[in-house]
Structure 1
């Protein structure tokens, strides 16, 4: 199985131009060369909107929006699953908006819309919290979990740092592939190391308890015989005062609780990174 992250620097508000740029980056790939394609959070609209009034012209519905339509077309062309982020407006309820991702199958059918559960301060100016984390069974892939950027952090940065809400959810759900669309900002820490640290309950039993007993964890370990694959597709560039750090990555966690960074991009690269994880699944 080949998993791809498309890391690039979209221009805020230039949706069609950003879609053309992403399509051009994918032109050289043929069916069979990518099995799962992951793009960043709000990949085509840009991210740093200051209020709801600014983002209104770019809100899309989950069925026919321009981002979902792009994902469906690429899924069909590449014979690949495609995940990409966008700002969602609920059809029939225009006051309800979410920071969302669409997940499209190889046939170009939308199989999941996930709405960001933990909002960053930029989201709070226009979006509602999603109803909760998600992990679903996908034929041909297994148990697939979804995340968007801030979901990896403690809730509102107010919860205990060791709550590990996102990682513990996916531990309980026995997620086998975890896909995250990011608009992660540059900071003073190694980004990929931090993401791995936020996944601690998946590979260190010291942090696994919380909502499961130790016997539950042991039973889960006994049934897990394949790696967990974590994928983060981040963006690059600067919008207003926000600088994004790239570092898109594919990480594996073995049944023996060993974590390994398979490949990582740097903070400025604009490219499609393809990682073959067939030997791990």
Structure 2
């Protein structure tokens, strides 16, 4: 009687390489799975549209009066700028989104799992940046367009509004979206550098609103005017306006310098992720 021979095959696990596409899908799921991110994105949309429409109502009332119109013109406020007022508040909110996307993972320890999956770490930063940029561009793009259309509808009741086809309007709308995306990416970079959500958010807010005020007293003899022009949050001012404002870089130069700021911050964040422990 022959003994039955049982062939035992050794189990060999299949090696699966982590691709950039896989990282992007993972980050996309994480982006819309974090409640604070979803709430903050909704807050950004509401702020851009709501404040823009409310400011348009206030501007319509002020521009209807000759003295009020003269005062607002002296301050560089026009119908387009009124409807885009909410975009300035939106920069604070999207900056917080950028910080939360990465600093939130450091605070909870989830970033360790991500780094085990992709040990080189730079792929994770690139995937987060891409997902963040696309989502902020789409959400704020719709919000900016809606704020403009609703705001101009309010102003047009007194024949004070502008149309989408007017010179410089479409470019300025795209400029507003570009600024919002850039600030969100800057928030991501600062979040990666500081790894603390509260500290990173405070740092970004201070760089946008506090530092420009502190730079104002610097005399021109110390190149104070140049320092103000080339400071991070001041560089893209005219890129988001139809009527340029004196004291800031031109739209084209400003957006290039702003992009350089964001690129440098992301480069520092990449260096920190590569060189520092979790």
Q: TM-score scaled by structure 1?
A: 0.23
Larger strand share, 1 or 2 = 1
**Which structure has more helix as a fraction of its residues?**
2
Q: Relative contact order (alpha carbons < 8 A, sep ≥ 6): 1 or 2 greater?
A: 2
The TM-score with structure 2 as length reference comes to 0.23
